[in-house]
Amino acid sequence: MHWHTATATHIGGRGEQQDRSVVLSSPNGKESLIVIADGMGGLEGGSRAAQAVIDASQEVFDSTPEPDAFVFLKRIIDRAHQFINQLNGLGNKAPGSTCVILLLREDGAYWAHVGDSRLYHFRNRKVLEKTSDHSVVQMLIQKGSLTELEAAASPLQNQIYKRLGGMNLPDPDFGTCSFLQGDVFLLCTDGFWSAIEPEETIENITNNLLAESVESLVLLAAEQGGVDGDNIAVALAAIE
C-alpha cells in the first residue's frame, strides 16, 4: 500500500497562527509521519510550543530507526514535551501544545494524541475511528452530563486536562488499525472540527485531488468559524 498526503492551515479570526503541521517521509517511501500541533500560552509562546512539537518530530524521525511504532511515537511526545519546557524555563511558566501524530507503515497505521487535536479514519464515507479529546466537555459527555450538541456551545469547550509542556509528564492515548485502498485519515486542530461536522468533511474529500480537498476544507471551516474563529490546521492521508 502507498499513500498520498496533503496539509493546509488557516489563521481563522486570530491575529497569529499558532497551529503547525508537517508530513515527513522515509527515503524509501515505506513510512510517513504526519503531525498536527496547536500551541497555547499567549502570543509567541503558543506558536513556539507548536513549532517545538514539529522540531521534535523531525529530530526523532531522523534518528535511529525504531521498529516498535508506539515506542517511536512516545519518543516524539516526550521529546516535544522536553523542548517546550526548555522554551521559557520549567513548570507552569512554560507554554504548551496539543498534538496528534499519525505513523503510516506498510503493516498499518499507528497514532498518538494529547489534548483536543483529533484524528479521524474514514472508509466508504463513514467514520471508523475518532480520537477522544482530553477535555472537560468530553468527560461530561462520557458521564452523560452533556450531549454532543450541548458540548458544542459549552463555555468549557476549550478546557483540556492533558497537554505537552508544564509540570505533568505526557500521558498520550494510542491507537492502531489496518487500512484498505480508499481509506482516508484526517488530522486536525480544534479550530477545524469545531466548525465543520464529519459528514460535511467527508463530502469535501476527493482522494485523487487531495491538495485541492484540504484547501477547500480549511476555507470552509474558516468561513463557518467566522470572525472569531480559531486557527486551523488539517492534514489528509489517502491510501492508494
Contacts of 18 (CB under 8 A, 6+ apart): 38, 39, 40, 46, 47, 49, 50, 231
> How many domains does the structure of the chain reveal?
1
The answer to whether 60 and 75 are in contact (CB under 8 A) is yes
- For residue 101, give the 3-state DSSP assignment: strand
Which range (75-84, 143-152, 216-225) has the least confidence? 143-152
Q: Is the pLDDT of residue 115 over 70?
A: yes
Three-state secondary structure call for residue 73: helix
Residue 228 lies in a domain: no
Residues 6+ apart with CB under 8 A from 47: 16, 17, 18, 20, 39
Classify residue 1: in a domain, yes or no.
no
Task: List, for residues 132-153, the tens digit of each pLDDT value.
Answer: 999 887 787 777 666 665 666 6
User: Which pTM value belongs to this model?
Assistant: 0.94
Contacts of 166 (CB under 8 A, 6+ apart): 85, 91, 92, 94, 96
Note the pLDDT of residue 226: 94
Please report which confidence band the pLDDT of residue 159 belongs to, taking 50, 70 and 90 as the band edges: confident
Q: What is the mean pLDDT of residues 141-170?
A: 76
Query: Is residue 230 included in any domain, yes or no?
Result: no
pLDDT tens readout for residues 7-65: 999 999 999 999 999 999 999 889 999 999 999 976 568 999 999 999 999 999 999 98
Task: Output the pLDDT for position 234.
Answer: 98
Mind spelling out the 3-state secondary structure of 153-222? CCCCCCCECCCECCCCCCCCEEEEECCCCCCEEEEECHHHHCCCCHHHHHHCCCHHHHHHHHHHHHHHHH
Report in angstroms the alpha-carbon separations of 84 from 2, 5, 141, 212, 216.
Answer: 33, 27, 30, 33, 32
Question: Is 168 within the bounds of a domain?
Answer: yes
Residue 239 domain flag: no
* Structure confidence at residue 41 (pLDDT): 78
pLDDT of residue 124: 95
Indicate if the pLDDT at residue 88 is higher than 70. no
20-27 LR contacts (CB < 8 Å, sep 24+) = 20/47, 20/50, 20/51, 20/53, 20/54, 20/233, 21/54, 21/187, 21/233, 21/234, 21/235, 22/54, 22/57, 22/58, 23/235, 24/57, 24/58, 24/61
Is a pLDDT exceeding 60 seen at residue 70? yes
Give the pLDDT of residue 153.
61
- Asked, for residue 193, whether it belongs to a domain, the answer is no
CATH number, domain of 118, equals 3.60.40.10
Range of the domain at 74: 14-188
Which residues have C-beta within 8 Å of that of residue 215, sequence separation ≥ 6? 8
Asked if residue 48 is part of any domain, the answer here is yes
**What does the mean pLDDT of the chain come to?**
91
In this predicted model, what pLDDT tens digit does every residue of 183-206 receive, in sequence order? 999 999 999 999 999 999 999 999
Q: What is the pLDDT of residue 145?
A: 65
List the single range of 68-82, 103-117, 143-157, 210-224 with lowest mean pLDDT. Answer: 143-157
Q: Look at residue 23 and tell me if it is in a domain.
A: yes
pLDDT of residue 210: 95
